[in-house]
Amino acid sequence: MKNKKFYITTPIYYPSGQPHMGHAYSSIIADVIARFKRNDNYDVHFLTGTDEHGLKIQKAASKAGLKPLEYCNKISDIFRQLNVKLNLSNDDFIRTTEKRHFNSVQHLWKQLVDSGDIYLSKYKGWYSVSDEAYYNSDEIVEKNGKKISTFSGSLVEWVEEESFFFKLSAWEDKLLEFYEKNKKFIIPVSRRNEVINFVKSGLKDLSISRTSFTWGIKVPNNEKHVIYVWLDALTNYLSALNYPNLNNDLYKKFWPASLHVIGKDILRFHAIYWPAFLLAANIEPPVKIFSHGWILSGEEKMSKSKGNILNPLEIIDIYGIDETRYYLMKEVSHGSDGNISLKSLENCINSDLANNYGNLCQRVFSFIKNNCANNVEAYKDKLDSDQKIINETKNIIGELRNLMEEQNINSYIKSVINISFLTNKYINDEEPWKLKSSNVKRMNNILHLALEQIAKISILLNPIIPISTSKVLDALNVKKSNRNLSFLDGENILSEKISIAPLNILFKKIT
């Protein structure tokens, strides 16, 4: 019975341009965790979507000769197509142009007004259209006669206009107290320290409305003002659960969110502004925020303006979706920036997928087909070498839940691939091909244990490479209802007698 709840979200993506590898990376992380939790018997709700308001969208639509909503419809659909291409298992796709979202944002605004946390004044300061963010003077430098943000490298402009403000300064001590009570609210630790230091340096009240453009959700009872895009966008995590209907089944079941997966460039909005908004509205903040690094091309973050975008759709078409998912999750270390290249992608496919896991499956299935008519039966007698690999696998498996709980997918994959390496070594050492005529029972035991290992590895890798591992589990005749992580607690997957189906080559070696 699924009584454990898990609500996971990606950032909602800003469709002012085409999707790039950074979008794919965030989405795949969230999908891997969602799939792992489902396999571990959690009731999961997985959300992604698009953030469709703000000046940047209004300008992009005008440049394309379209009305803002027409433009958003077109670009948002591209992100939906990317989700399909990435083989995401999301339960919902939220658009901030939907009525359910309008209702949530305006209700949250009213809550903040009622709590006394919003007031009307005038804003003077630096604003980045690209980041949809305000910056302090000490976060601005001049390069080549232009003002840019030291935080993001984006151009900023001086803005003076009437604005509603959120009393962020009043929440400084309360936020620090919240971080202290919830030490894993922000991971990794380096990002947590970054946020705490920023808050300790002093928080200024936050401008939360604009009057210089019209594309957005209007401030209730004031048509002149548009709600600041980040207050608008962050609320998507609530509106997808039908907030403000607190009695709605989705809201009651899944709020507070278990995990927000975000890039480090939007950490401040999620780890400072968002919990402050929620606490002010008397809403429980999310349990955890995982802030991952950037996907780099060369030494720079990928962005449209720099012209260094790697198109995930093109890479998937060439190398395959499972291969791309695996590479991104394996090669980028926990919370760090990842410098990717096609050469390292090819090396990863060859070393880990083709030569290790793929080779293990192929050699065992082929041997059983050619020598055992696709049938294997295990016998009770186990040798020391059998028990050794069983124990080694148990030791590795014991850490896997913790690694996934810490969103350390990179180390998780390395551990699982190590099981595959150990299994290949076990087969080489035991040499079942020498026992075909002399000791059929011993040969069967070796092969059955190898198949049990393959089943475990396939279920463990299933969140990362779901298509390929499903083929293996299908060939092993493992029922879908049994493709879960119960074996982490000591249960076997396969029965003593097993019939397997043919298995084609999973991964082609790149030459």
The verdict on residue 509 lying in a domain is: no
Q: 403 and 318: one domain?
A: no
Q: Which residues pair with 295 in a beta bridge?
A: 338
> Which domain range does residue 393 map to?
342-499
Encode burial over 298-327: b for 16+ CB neighbours within 10 A, e otherwise: eeebbbeeeeebbebbebbeebbbbbbbbb
**Beta-carbon contacts of residue 157 (< 8 Å; ≥ 6 apart):** 126, 127, 128, 129, 147
Closest Cα partner for 250 from 476, 88, 47, 16?
A: 47
What does the angle CA 481 – CA 325 – CA 511 come to, to the nearest 5 degrees?
120
Q: Which of 36, 32, 43, 42 is nearest to 10 (CA)?
A: 32
Are residues 298 and 392 both part of a single domain? no
**Over 90: is that where the pLDDT of 152 sits?**
no
Tens-digit pLDDT profile for residues 318-375: 999 999 999 999 988 777 888 888 899 999 999 999 999 999 999 999 999 999 999 9
Supply 45's token pair. Answer: 């709700």
Q: 318 and 384 share a domain?
A: no
Cβ contacts of 380 within 8 Å, gap of 6 or more? none
Strand order in the sheet with 42-50: 92-95, 42-50, 4-13, 259-263, 289-292, 186-187
Contacts of 331 (CB under 8 A, 6+ apart): 338, 340, 344, 345, 348, 410
Residues 389-443 pLDDT 10s: 999 999 999 899 999 999 999 999 999 999 999 999 999 999 999 999 999 999 9
pLDDT score, position 380: 84
Distance of CA 167 to the CA centre of its chain: 31
Domain identity same for 287 and 355: no
Whole-structure pTM value = 0.93
What is the DSSP code string of 436-455? TTT-HHHHHHHHHHHHHHHH
Domain termination residue (choose one: 294, 312, 339): 339
Q: Which of 316, 339, 362 is the last residue of a domain?
A: 339
Are residue 276 and residue 378 in the same domain, yes or no? Answer: no
Q: Order of strands, edge to edge, in the sheet holding 295-297?
A: 300-301, 295-297, 338-339
pLDDT digits 0-9 by tens, 253-299: 999 999 999 999 999 999 999 999 999 999 999 999 999 998 876 55
In a domain, 507, yes or no: no
Of 455, 137, 153, 108, the closest CA to residue 303 belongs to: 153
Q: Based on the domain organization, do 315 and 384 belong to the same domain?
A: no
What's the CATH number where 181 sits? Answer: 3.40.50.620
Burial label for 164, CB within 10 Å (0-12, 13-18, 19+), is buried
DSSP 81-96: HHHHHTT---SEEEET
DSSP-based three-state secondary structure for 66: coil
Say which CATH number the domain at 378 has.
1.10.730.10
Confirm if 335 and 293 have CB atoms less than 8 A apart: yes
The answer on 376 and 324 residing in a single domain is no
Give yes or no: residues 354 and 491 share one domain.
yes
Sequence-distant (≥ 6) Cβ neighbours of residue 210 within 8 angstroms: 55, 161, 163, 216, 225, 226, 228
Q: Identify whether 510 is part of a domain.
A: no
Q: 3-class DSSP state for residue 461?
A: helix
pLDDT digits (tens, 9 = 90+) for 459-489: 999 999 999 999 999 999 999 999 999 888 8
Given a contact cutoff of 8 angstroms between Cβ atoms, the answer to whether 445 and 379 are in contact is yes
Assigned domain for 84 exists? yes
Number of domains in the chain: 2
Examine residue 371 and state whether it is found in any structural domain, yes or no: yes
Residue 330 lies in a domain: yes
Residue 69: what pLDDT? 95
Q: What is the mean pLDDT of the chain?
A: 92
User: Is 179:192 a contact under the CB 8 Å cutoff?
Assistant: yes
Same domain assignment for residues 400 and 444: yes
Do 250 and 352 have their domain in common?
A: no
Q: Looking at the chain, how many residues does it have?
A: 511
**Of the residues 339, 357, 384, the one at which a domain ends:** 339
Burial class (CB in 10 A: 0-12, 13-18, 19+), 392: middle
* Confidence (pLDDT) at 19: 77
Percent of the chain with pLDDT over 70: 96
The answer to whether residue 508 sits within a structural domain is no
CB-based contact 286:258 (threshold 8 Å): yes
Same domain, 334 and 348: no
The helix (H) or strand (E) run that includes residue 11 is strand 4-13
Asked if residue 506 belongs to a domain, the reply is no
**Nearest of 508, 240, 500 to residue 355 by alpha carbon:** 508
Residues 312, 351, single domain; the answer is no
The pLDDT score that the predictor gives to residue 435 is 96
